[in-house]
Every structure is written in structure tokens, then in C-alpha cells.
Structure 1
Amino acid sequence: YWDPEYVVKETDVLALFRVTPQPGVDPVEASAAVAGESSTATWTVVWTDLLTACDLYRAKAYKVDAVPNTSDQYFAFIAYDIDLFEEGSIANLTASIIGNVFGFKAVRALRLEDMRIPVAYLKTFQGPATGVISERERMDKFGRPFLGATVKPKLGLSGKNYGRVVYEGLKGGLDFLKDDENINSQPFMRWKERYLYSMEGVNRSVAATGEVKGHYLNVTAATMEDMYERAEFAQQLGSIIIMIDLVIGYTAIQTMGIWARKNDMILHLHRAGNSTYSRQKIHGMNFRVICKWMRMAGVDHIHAGTVVGKLEGDPLMIRGFYNTLLLPYLKVNLPQGIFFEQDWASLRKVTPVASG
């Protein structure tokens, strides 16, 4: 699994891991172990290896560099053959890349820092349901950022008072108001009540201002059937946008992206839960990778952080997230944490939301 002479193919999926080996473990050995565990290897030698073209399907760790200003961390560059992954499936891609490998004994810590998705694989994904350009045309707002806010308090309001906040905010100049990540259908306000009062507020604000307005109706629920029901009801009420949470999972996000494209609905994604794996600097996953996967999965908005406010945010890293979501072609930019060139193959742009 270690091949320093390997020549990367245009069709390879590339991953960059920050590897912290266990004491006494050679960084090259640890990197090769990561490549093996995330592709064809198992914990022992098996005779069935002889029945496959293992040389083709093995991931190749082709470069290991020491992380600057550290004594025990290394960047491992790993290439995966495109045939290792099911077409158009974030779930299958992640099952390999981040499946078992993060619990591997050979490493003390492991972090997925960046990926290069080849054009051939990108073309199997729908991409954002609406995209920045179509959304601006739909909203008839150009030359400035969209201005939005979240209803507060996010929990505890009655439906009527919730709708009043929506109306006052939109009439006062906002383009959007939104549900927060944990407002779904609780006893104090069921989802249908919230939708009805919120859309009444939207419609009244549109009549008062003459502008297109929206409220992100959170359709996150326990099952896909419930989410479809809520999304379809939002559409029947005339909503132009719905919202989901990252915690629903990659398959559910892709499914709602496909639904939103078919039904001409803008799809907002709240990144609820991401910090459980993205905040640690030596273990987990960089949020940049989530940005790439979500652009593939089909969302139109994603919370991408800001350099002020209550949540952590480094200016250069945040700029890297925004560029990942907005640019048609990414160049290597190490200060922004972008390690690979990335051709987005005409996938639509995602609107980064300055949040927190």
C-alpha cells in the first residue's frame, strides 16, 4: 500500500490525511496502513485475495510529508481507484474513506484534511438543487449578500407568535428568516402549525414590501416519509425554500436534494453536529471535506462559519470553505487549507451562510 513511485491518474480519488502514528510506528507504515484499511486490506492475510485484482483495487499511499511545526504529525497523500466507489453515492464514498480507519490501532489520531474528487466521479452526482444563480433570479436580488436571521427564542414560542416574528423580521428588511436546527415538531408547537403561521407571515411581508421573501421551514424528522410529507406541505403553502439538518445523514441529504431539484425548491442545510468531528485539529475531519460532499449531495445553502461571533473561525480557513462552495475551479492554496486542485465539472455553486 506504500508506493512512492505511483503516478496519480486523473480518475483517482485523492485524500489527504493528517496522521499521528503511535509511538514507535514509522509514519510511512502508518500511512500505508491507513491506505490499506480504507480500501482492500483486512486484519489478516486471506486466500481470497488471490481471486481479485488486488493490485488495481489497493489504495496507494504515495507521499508522506511532515506537518510543519509539529514533531509527531504527518500528511499522508493517498490515491483510490475510482472503481472502488459506487456512482453517485456519498454513503459509499464515506464508508471507505472514513469507515473503520479512524479507530485503527497503528495511529494515535487521524484527520481527513482534504479530498480531490475526479470529474468522472463528480459527473455521477446531481449537485445543488437550485444553485446561486437561479436562486438570485428567483429572489430578484443582485449585487449584495442575502440577509437572513433565525427566529429566537428558537424553542418555546407558540405558532402564532412564531409567525409574528417571521412577519416582523421580513417586513423590516430581511430576505429570509429561518427555523433553527432543533425546531421540528415539539409539543409546544407542531410542525404544521408552525408552517401555517410562518407562511402567513411570509405572505403578509411580501404584500407589504413587494419583494420576494422566504422562511426556511425545517423538514427534519424521524423518517424520510415524515420529511417528504413536511416538504410537500411546505410546497403546497407556497414556500420557496426548505431546510434540513446535517444530522439526518448523507443518504437522506442526497434524497432531499433530488426532491428539491424535482420540485423547484431551494434547499438549506444547517450543519448541526459537524463540530463533533471537525473542531479537533488532529482527529476527525476538516469541515472543508463536508463542504465538498454537500456540494455533491445537492444542497443550495450550507452554514460555513464566520470570523466573528460565538463560534470558532479562522479567517483563512473560512475563506477556503467559501471558495470550495463557490468557485468552479479550485487551485492549490495551502494557507486556506486547499491541498488539491479541484475541477467542479459544472456542478452548481452553493451559497455559504455566514453563521454563528
Structure 2
Amino acid sequence: MKNRIIAKYLIETAHPVEKAVAVLAGEQSSGTFVKVPGETAELTEKYGAKVESIEILGESTTPYLNDSKPPKGVAQAIFQKARIEISWNYDNVGANLPTLMATVAGNLFELSQFSGLKLLDIELPQTYKAHYSGPKFSIEGTQKLAGVHQRPIIGTIIKPSVGLSPEQNAEQVKTLIEGGVDFIKDDELMADPPHSPFEKRVQLAMYQINKYADATGKKVMYAFNLSGDLDDMKRRHDIVLKNEGTCIMMSLNWVGISAVHQICQFTQLPVHGHRNGWGMFYRPELMGMSFPVYKKIFSLAGIDHLHTNGLRNKFCESDESVLNSIRACQSEAGGSYKVMPVISSGQWADQAADTYAKVGNADLMYLCGGGITAHPDGIKAGVESIRIAWEEGMKGNQLQDIAHKYPVIQKALAFYGK
């Protein structure tokens, strides 16, 4: 639909579905709980949200959430599930990401008519892409900057997550880059704490990275975590730039859409988007939002990389959900931009072949924390095990079939496989 914003939801309600959905459409556009002066038929026709479709999925006698209010006088409520589609005039919002989210994901979650409501997807007019330039690097730009093609960018996270001094952090960086990683990042728990001041951490880490680059020609990308207030993030960004850094990172949910957009406009470095806290949006079956919405919003804001979890991860997310997230990152569907999917969370050599087979390409980052740093033969062996697993996996070979050729794979299977 030209120049309309479309949102798709999964809902549950004990009220007549059409009436409940009409309440949602009114609440999120020109209406409220009573008729007000100025709410003319002409205004409602132009600016009121429209119910585009309703698909009933089934019913239950038990609500997903217990705090919804069934219709008055109903002793035994029946809760119906449905997929619905709502649209808004672009002029209600304009090119404004925070107001867009207030429209499609605002007070509607609190409406008493619903015992469950999840935002599944959004489709945006091309006006949004015309206004928001999106990622400056995305997949191809990051690959070029990292000097990595035809395979994943292999990386890791500084571990322990907190507690290391800037000197200890730099020593681990030295070991990692000599071990052959392409990418290193701060843990999301590490920003600018008293025990590891940001500026000193950047100076010492970049000394090791630049020294190695001068000697070998390979410059490892390090995503330093800027997260904080906007002015502090700009100051930290300039510290990274001054020390010839090549990547910055933000905790997207806690920094906020507007701050992310400002930093993305401000910087000439790739922006690594960490989604920590994401579980509260996607984990409930009938509450929150799905990943495609999240990716679309932050790709418009300008991030270049976005975490997706990985296969057989240490969290609760299913492989199917992870694969859908990776595909969403690599797609421009719905009026958004491509971003580099970041495969992480409990990854080691074992998941490489299956990841390649199921994703169908290697246009991604493959980050292993303990999967590299805890290898029994050390960090270099950990990196080597990941690289071999991907090289062989892209040929269709599983670890068990090639382990006899590679001691580092044998050790990985014995250690992580248990």
C-alpha cells in the first residue's frame, strides 16, 4: 500500500476480535476511549489506523496473560488468537523512528482487551529509506575493511568480561591477533569502568593492533564499547578514531534509537550493534516483538552489525529463530537495509558446517568467546580450529569426518563435545 505503514501482530483476546482490534487501531491513531471534539469523520478517514486483515487462528479457555479484562457479564471467557494487519497513513508519523515505534509498539501492549499481543513485522514506505541512509559499511564494507572475503569474519570477545586492567586487556589482544583472529570486541558489560578506563584501554589495545598491522599488513578490527550518554559516546568515539581504531560498539536497547542514529551519522567507523536485553522482547510467545522489526528499525538508524545468536547456542533461542534472524539481517525486505549478522553465544568449531549449510553463505561474523579462548591447546589453536571447521564445513565436511587430519579439531571435540 503506497505511503502507508503496515504492522502485523499476533493477538489473543476474550472480546469479539473485530471490536478489540478496532480499539487498538483507534488507540494508536486518532481515537481514544471516548469521542472527543475535533474527531471528525474526515479526520478519522485520513489519520485513523485501518484494520487491513484478521485471520482467526484458534481459541482457548486459558489466557496467556491473566491481567486482561474480559467483557462485562461473561462468566467463562473464551480467548481467541488471531493474526491481524493494521496500517497507518505515513503522514501520522513522518520519517521519525521513535514516533514510529510509539505508533506500532506503544500503549497497545497495555490495552485491557488483550491477553496477548506480539508485533510480528512491519513494512515501511520507501520514504523511510530516502530519509535514513542506513549503514555506512554493512556486509561488504566490513568485509573489505577487515580484509576477509569468501569466508566468515572470525572473532572473539575479551574474556573475562570484566576485571581485566587495560594492560591485561592489551596482553590478551596481542595473543589473539597473533593467534589469527579477524575481529575482537569488548564484552557488553565493559564500557568505561574505574578498573579499566576507556581511553587507556583503547590506547594500549590499538598499540598492539597497529604494531601487528605495521609488521604484517593485517589490521584486526576491534569493536570498542562506547555505550553511555550521547556526549560521552562522541568523546569515546573520538578516542577510538585518534588511536586509529576501526570499529565501535553500542548496547542498542539501553542507548536508544535516537542516540544510535546520531552516533551512526557522526562516525565514519563501522557500528557493531549489541542487542543485550533482547530476550524480553522476543522470548514471550504472545508479548513483545519479533526480530525482523528490531532489525529494520536499527538498520535504518545506521548500524552495520547486529547480533543474532547462533545454532545450538547457550541461550533459549531455537535454531529456527536464529536462522530467521540471520536471513532478516541479510535482507532488505520491508523498506530496510542489510546488516552484517553476528553469530555468537556458545559457538565453537562444531556449529560451523551446519551454519554454512543452513544459511547458504558465509557473509557473517562468527564470534567464539570460550570457543576460542578455552581451547585446551590455547588461543592460537582455538582460532585454528574455527578456521579449519569453516574451511571444511564450506566443502560439506563435518568435524567428525575430518578430525583425524587435525589435532586441534580432535582436542576441540574432546573438550567442547562433552
Tell me the residue number matched to 1:12: 4
Kindly provide the CA deviation profile for residues 197-224 of structure 1, in whole angstroms up to 9, marking residues without a partner as x.
2212222332454312111111111x21
TM-score, length-scaled by structure 2: 0.74
The aligned runs of 1:295-306 (5 Å cut-off) are 295-306=299-310
Kindly provide the CA deviation profile for residues 119-157 of structure 1, in whole angstroms up to 9, marking residues without a partner as x.
223221111122222222222211001011100101111
Give yes or no for contact 1:128–1:300 (8 Å, CA) kept in 2: yes
1:229 aligns with 2:229: no
For residues 235 and 121 of structure 1, the distance between their equivalents in structure 2, rounded to whole angstroms, comes to 30
Tell me the CA shift for residue 229 of structure 1.
0.2
Tell me the residue number matched to 1:281: 285
Give yes or no for contact 2:129–2:335 (8 Å, CA) kept in 1: no
Tell me the residue number matched to 2:32: 42
For residues 59 and 42 of structure 2, the distance between their equivalents in structure 1, rounded to whole angstroms, comes to 42
Tell me the residue number matched to 2:83: 75
SS in 2 for 1:235: helix
For residues 119 and 320 of structure 1, the distance between their equivalents in structure 2, rounded to whole angstroms, comes to 23
Give yes or no for contact 2:128–2:335 (8 Å, CA) kept in 1: no
The aligned runs of 1:250-269 (5 Å cut-off) are 250-260=257-267, 264-269=268-273
Tell me the residue number matched to 1:53: 43
Q: List runs of 5+ in structure 1 lacking aligned partners.
A: 1-8, 331-341
SS in 2 for 1:49: coil
Count of matched residue pairs: 326
Cα separation, partners in 2 of 1:343 and 1:227, compared to 1, 3 Å: closer
The aligned runs of 1:86-125 (5 Å cut-off) are 86-87=94-95, 89-125=96-132
For residues 174 and 211 of structure 2, the distance between their equivalents in structure 1, rounded to whole angstroms, comes to 7
Tell me the CA shift for residue 276 of structure 1.
1.7
For residues 241 and 121 of structure 1, the distance between their equivalents in structure 2, rounded to whole angstroms, comes to 26
AA aligned to 1:354 is: I
Q: List runs of 5+ in structure 2 lacking aligned partners.
A: 61-78, 346-418
Tell me the CA shift for residue 32 of structure 1.
1.6
The partner residue of 1:327 within 301, 315, 331 is: 331
TM-score, length-scaled by structure 1: 0.87
For residues 108 and 181 of structure 2, the distance between their equivalents in structure 1, rounded to whole angstroms, comes to 45
Give yes or no for contact 1:147–1:174 (8 Å, CA) kept in 2: yes
Tell me the residue number matched to 1:141: 148
The aligned runs of 1:124-135 (5 Å cut-off) are 124-135=131-142
Give yes or no for contact 1:19–1:27 (8 Å, CA) kept in 2: no
For residues 83 and 157 of structure 2, the distance between their equivalents in structure 1, rounded to whole angstroms, comes to 39
Give yes or no for contact 1:199–1:237 (8 Å, CA) kept in 2: yes
Cα separation, partners in 2 of 1:68 and 1:165, compared to 1, 3 Å: farther
Specify which structure has the higher proportion of helix.
2
SS in 1 for 2:150: coil
SS in 1 for 2:39: helix
Cα separation, partners in 2 of 1:130 and 1:114, compared to 1, 3 Å: same
Kindly provide the CA deviation profile for residues 302-337 of structure 1, in whole angstroms up to 9, marking residues without a partner as x.
101212221233333322222222124x4xxxxxxx
Tell me the CA shift for residue 291 of structure 1.
0.9
AA aligned to 1:228 is: K
For residues 297 and 53 of structure 2, the distance between their equivalents in structure 1, rounded to whole angstroms, comes to 24
Kindly provide the CA deviation profile for residues 8-43 of structure 1, in whole angstroms up to 9, marking residues without a partner as x.
x2221110111111x3x0112112211111111112
Cα separation, partners in 2 of 1:33 and 1:189, compared to 1, 3 Å: same
Q: CA RMSD in A?
A: 1.8
For residues 205 and 151 of structure 1, the distance between their equivalents in structure 2, rounded to whole angstroms, comes to 18
Larger radius of gyration: 2
Tell me the CA shift for residue 343 of structure 1.
5.0
SS in 2 for 1:45: coil
The partner residue of 1:176 within 170, 183, 191 is: 183
Tell me the residue number matched to 1:6: none
